[in-house]
């Protein structure tokens, strides 16, 4: 996570393809024990690791996603408020709180699918 100067794009500006697609891959979590809790996110808010939020590389800030763990079917609704992940092979960096809703944080990463809601 890095504080970036970025234009705010409204969720209504999500393309039709992005809005109707389901994307699958790996998600991790951040915010506890890594120094990011309390720092400024890419959209300018203060990061709270316990909120239900996520970092995505390109979706507009404010976009809501339903994220489902593929191994247990648990899901959580999160809001894009940051940019990332910056680790190859991951498609979302969930907040610690959001990740904990769908998998044990000690797991580190999990296979998920998400869709824009």
pLDDT for res 21: 85
Residue 7 has pLDDT above 90, yes or no: no
CA-wise closest residue to 63 among 76, 52, 79, 43: 79
pLDDT for res 33: 87
CA-wise closest residue to 85 among 12, 17, 36, 50: 36
CA distances for 47 relative to 9, 17, 23, 26, 75, angstroms:
19, 29, 25, 21, 21
| Mean pLDDT (the chain, rounded) | 89
Count of other CB atoms within 10 angstroms of residue 103: 22
d(CA 32, CA 20): 32
22-49 mean pLDDT: 94
Looking at the chain, the whole-number percentage of residues with pLDDT higher than 90 is 78
pLDDT for res 5: 38
CA distances for 3 relative to 43, 50, 81, angstroms:
8, 19, 11
Residue 117 has pLDDT above 70, yes or no: yes
List of domains in the chain: 20-116 (2.40.40.10)
Residue 64 has pLDDT above 50, yes or no: yes
């Amino acid at each position: 996570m890095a504080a970036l100067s970025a234009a705010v794009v409204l969720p209504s500006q999500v393309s039709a393809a992005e809005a109707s697609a389901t994307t699958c891959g790996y998600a991790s979590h951040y915010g506890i024990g890594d120094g990011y809790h309390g720092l400024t996110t890419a959209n300018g808010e203060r990061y709270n690791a316990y909120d239900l939020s996520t970092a995505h590389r390109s979706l507009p800030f404010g976009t809501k996603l339903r994220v489902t763990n593929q191994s247990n079917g648990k899901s959580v609704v999160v809001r894009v408020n940051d940019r990332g992940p910056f680790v190859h092979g991951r498609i979302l960096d969930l907040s610690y709180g959001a990740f904990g809703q769908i998998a044990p944080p000690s797991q580190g990463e999990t296979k998920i699918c998400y869709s824009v809601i």
